[in-house]
Amino acid sequence: MDPISESRRRISIKEHALANVSSPNYPGSCAGYDDTFDIKSVIEKLKVNIKRLEGNEMEFDLIGVEPAIPNAFRRILLVELPSMAIEKVFIYNNTSVIQDEVLAHRLGLVPLKADPRLFEYRQEGDEEGTEQDTLEFELKVTCANNKAAAKDSSALKDIYVNHKVFSDSLKWVPIGNQGDVYTEDDVGPVHKDILLNCLRPGHKLDIKLHAVKGIGRDHAKFSPVATAYYRILPEITLTREVEGEAADRLQSCFTPGVIKVSETKDGRKVAKVEDARYDMCSRNVFKHKDLIDAVKLDRVRDHFIFTVESVGALPPDVLFIEAVKVLKGKCARFLEELSTI
């Protein structure tokens, strides 16, 4: 491949620097290449490939776009997609050792299963909340001595009742007709075993909570993703044969699974690239002077490996779809506004 199309396609990882980090792609900046933005050709180039979908995690490839596009999706996933979280905490009694405000903050971070698409944003100044915009929970726990405990027992779980408060103690209180529409499983905490507080006999919690819809820009607890990130596809090319002891050394320079050492018919050990996808792109190989000329490390500029990890309210594929819809909606809104000028 000639150097110009090479530099346009790949970012090169050198011993002490990265080469071709940015490639000018404005019309006319590269002789022989038409960089004019043409929606038809951009759409033709775009490819999606779903690689992994396991519970709350999804990994897929987004190929043929500029970094600004996946970055917009990533930013939207993190801070612009709504989710439900506890926002108001009414503490009627809290005699535990955790201060009211610390406990309130802790409660706010508990992920809820409620689907935010079924709720409205609560109006500013509204203290009560309605069935469309609020989920009410109750946390009433009292710790006491366990009278039935064996005399010689000293384990906390035996001698006390309720000495640990978990998220399953959050009892949902339906407002209006919510009881007909949702079940406790639909709206309650995603995890039942989050430790909220530790009590001792006599300690008491009597708390009412309001969960509302919000976005991650306002507070991270509203962010529907644990992480959403992308990396650029690594590409490793062996420019000459590496054999024997050097092959093992080469293998140890990369993430396990990237380089495979196999035996040829005539009994030599030879290294070859198995799968560069999950390489961490360390530059360990450059420590070995005799291997420097054997490898070429690159990253494919327009190939993004996108990973979305949901907190649990919505599956990751739905989150990505919602994120794309948000970007689409932004364009539609401004186009609409422009049409009035």
Q: Which residues bind another protein (CB under 8 A)?
A: 25-28, 35-37, 39, 42-43, 46-50, 53, 60, 62, 65-69, 71-72, 75-76, 80, 317, 320-321, 324-325, 327-328, 330-332, 334-335, 337-338, 341
Q: How far is the CB of 219 from another protein (least distance, A)?
A: 16
Please state, in angstroms and rounded to a whole number, the distance separating the CA atoms of residues 2 and 109: 53
3-state helix, strand, coil in the chain (%, to 5): 30, 35, 40
Is the separation of the CB atoms in 213 and 83 below 8 Å?
yes
- The identity of residue 56, as a single letter, is N
Contact 316, 58 (CB under 8 A): yes
Question: Which residue has 């509203």 as its token pair?
Answer: 222
Using CA atoms, how far residue 236 sits from 152, 242, 257, 286, in Å, is 65, 14, 13, 13
Tokens of residue 113, six digits: 């299963």
Distance between CA 305 and CA 231 in Å, rounded?
5
Complex with another protein: residue 18 or 46, whichever CB lies closer: 46
Closest distance of CB 143 from another protein, Å: 44
| Least spacing, CB of residue 301 vs another protein, in Å | 13
Q: Residue 68 Cβ, how far from another protein at the closest point, in Å?
A: 4
Q: Which is nearer to another protein, 62 or 103 (CB)?
A: 62
Instruction: Give the nearest distance from C-beta 75 to another protein in angstroms.
Output: 4
CB of 47 to another protein, least distance (A): 7
Residue among 149 and 318 whose Cβ is closer to another protein: 318
**Closer residue to another protein, CB minimum distance, 38 or 275:** 38
Closer to another protein by CB, 50 or 102: give it. 50
Question: Smallest gap, in angstroms, from Cβ of residue 101 to another protein?
Answer: 24
Q: Which is nearer to another protein, 94 or 307 (CB)?
A: 307
DSSP H or E stretch at residue 6: helix 3-9
State which residue, 52 or 147, has the beta carbon closest to another protein: 52
Amino acid at 104: A
Q: Which is nearer to another protein, 266 or 337 (CB)?
A: 337
Sheet with 82-94: list strands edge to edge.
82-94, 204-215, 135-142, 171-173
Q: What are phi and psi of 317, to 5 degrees?
A: -65, -40
Could you tell me the smallest distance in angstroms from the CB atom of residue 337 to another protein? Answer: 6
- Degrees, nearest 5: CA angle 244-248-253: 140
Instruction: Please report the DSSP string for 72-137 in residue order.
Output: HHHHHHHHTSEEEEEEEEEEEEE-SSS-HHHHHHHHHTS-B---GGG-PPPPTT-SS--TTT-EEE
Specify the residue, 48 or 181, whose C-beta has the smaller distance to another protein. 48
Backbone angles phi, psi at 47, to 5 degrees: -135, 145
Output the smallest distance, CB 208 to another protein, in A: 33
Give backbone dihedrals phi and psi of 156, rounded to 5 degrees, phi first: -55, -40
